[in-house]
Amino acid sequence: MEEKIGLVQIYTGDGKGKTTSSIGLTVRAIGRGFKVCYVFFFKNFSIYPTGELEILEKLGVKTFSFALDTPLFRPSVSRESVREGCLNALNFIKNELFVNEAPDLLVLDEINNAIPNAYLSDDEIIDLIKHKPVPMELVLTGRGASQKIMSAADLVSKIEKIKHPFDSGVPRRKGIEY
């Protein structure tokens, strides 16, 4: 039997469809009996709940959250604590998810945002990618993927916002945007 080789996928750009692509990929993988884990960055579900979390867990996806709060939504949060949360995530992914959980598909949701915000350097993320178990498919989502990160990936989709209702003042809609 051939050895399974997982690739690295990046979904970036300013259009709608990055997190939802990764969820769709998860559904496809679950349908094939794959084990899937999610690590969410910069999302505090207790303040900003989202429709997908419960369904993902119902489908057997293990989910983890790091660096929940950022100064963007909570000005009292220090940049240092966000950086610390991101480093904790990298350690957890490398030492726990890569080694013990070892899912077939691992999604690092919004991690690309850590780069333009200087919470993580692209070298730190590339180092993580290099330690990925060979069979694991790794998906990185979020705006702000740098050229360097994109060079380290096998698949890059850039989702361009041609048009978004936010621009006409339509507020975020439950079940659609979150």
Contact letters (x/-) for a second copy, 50-89, by CB under 8 A? xxxxxxx--x------------------------------
Angle (CA) 94-96-24 rounded to 5° is 80
Is residue 22 at the binding interface for a second copy, with CB under 8 A as the rule? yes
Output DSSP code: residue 62. Answer: E
- Give least dist CB 22 to a second copy, A: 7
Is residue 135 at the binding interface for a second copy, with CB under 8 A as the rule? no
Is residue 113 at the binding interface for a second copy, with CB under 8 A as the rule? no
13-21, 82-90, 111-119, 124-132 -> range binding a second copy (CB under 8 A): 13-21
Residue 104, C-beta contacts closer than 8 angstroms, at least 6 positions apart:
6, 29, 34, 35, 36, 135, 136, 137
- Give least dist CB 77 to a second copy, A: 26
Burial of 19 (0-12, 13-18, 19+ CB in 10 A): buried
67-75, 89-97, 125-133, 162-170 -> range binding a second copy (CB under 8 A): 162-170
Is residue 32 at the binding interface for a second copy, with CB under 8 A as the rule? yes
Question: Which residue type, as a one-letter code, is found at position 7?
Answer: L
Calpha distance 108→39 (Å, rounded) = 5
Output DSSP code: residue 55. Answer: H
Calpha distance 12→133 (Å, rounded) = 23
Is residue 164 at the binding interface for a second copy, with CB under 8 A as the rule? yes
Contacting positions for a second copy (CB under 8 A): 7, 9, 11, 13, 15-34, 50-56, 59, 104-105, 137, 150, 153-165, 168, 170, 174-176, 178
